[in-house]
Amino acid sequence: MIYSSARFALHLQPSSAQPQNPRPFSMIHDPTPDQDETRDSDEAKGSEAADAAGTLRHRRIRSFVTRAGRVSTGQRRALDEFGPRFVVPYAPQPLDWDAAFGRQAPRVLEIGFGMGGTTAEIASARPADDFLGIEVHEPGVGALLKLIGEQELTNIRVVQHDAVEVLEHMIAADSLDGVHIYFPDPWHKARHHKRRLIQPKFVALLVSRLKPGGYLHLATDWQNYAEQMLEVLSAEPALENSAGSDYAQRPDYRPVTKFERRGLKLGHGVWDLVFKRR
């Protein structure tokens, strides 16, 4: 249904949740730019197929798979106009958030923001927080920059790079107030489950970057992946489920996207998980 790009929680299981049915469309996250107006941007996040077997250093996790996509004229214009201000170049050293944003504020990382619609909406609703979005696909970066320009948002920055390397090298330990990972690629075939982003080693890396009390918010519309997420996060001793032992109600700050709403009307479930670092 709605899958995010690498962009990288837990409470009451939604009453609308039903046993999952095959989706009537491809599992590819990223829409082509021509689909930008018909498919919600953040529901097409294709950057995070993770090979989570092995260690982070040896058979490395990657937070994305390469997908081709044409950059539209509007996206290219936004890249040229707003990229110099809002895109932070990858560098193997800790990011100075205060310098990048020009202020001190709570810090939230989003892994795989797709076409950026949800990112922009949350940032607009939470102007006191700073948001760093990770996305490898240029059409998505251009789409979010376009929204930043149209809405005159100042509290978003973008890194166009692999999320694992950004976490390892650019995000300091104990520095994040929150992490958002919405609709990561479910890799629905059993033989591909090892490619899913949410694996114990990756979660341990995320936790090391959260401040004590910082939150990790995940969302998926694939029941089997939701079950895996709940199992992996619950097994991490440094995390506490804010919903007790179940799935979370969708927090008010996460907007319901067009395709999510359509899926709910068809009886498809969406599961949110919200955990906090102890």
| Percent over 90 (pLDDT), the chain | 72
In the chain, at which residue ranges do the beta strands (DSSP E only) sit? 107-111, 130-134, 156-159, 176-182, 210-220, 239-241, 271-277
CATH of domain 33-277: 3.40.50.150
Residue spans of the domains in the chain: they are: 33-277
Confirm whether residue 221 is marked as ligand binding.
yes
pLDDT of residue 29: 36
Q: What is the mean pLDDT of residues 84-111?
A: 98
What is the pTM for the complete model shown?
0.79
pLDDT tens for each residue of 194-233:
999 999 999 999 999 999 999 999 999 999 999 999 999 9
Q: Annotated binding residue at 168?
A: no
**219: exposed, middle or buried (Cβ count in 10 Å: 0-12, 13-18, 19+):** buried
185 catalytically annotated: yes
Question: Residue 110, annotated ligand binder?
Answer: yes
Between 51 and 123, where is the model more confident?
123
Average pLDDT over residues 259-265: 87
Residue 65: pLDDT band with limits 50, 70, 90: low
Over range 237-254, report the average pLDDT.
98
| 48 annotated as belonging to a binding site for a ligand | no
pLDDT tens digits for 139-187?
999 999 999 999 999 999 999 999 999 999 999 999 999 999 999 999 9
Q: Is 189 one of the annotated binding-site residues? A: yes
| Tokens 């990561």, residue located | 184
Of 25-34, 140-149, 257-266, 269-278, the one with minimum mean pLDDT is 25-34
Please, what is the Cα angle at 254 between 64 and 240, to 5 degrees? 80
| 258 known member of a binding site | yes
Ligand-binding annotation for 135, yes or no, is: yes
**Of the residues 177, 185, 246, 252, which is catalytic?**
185
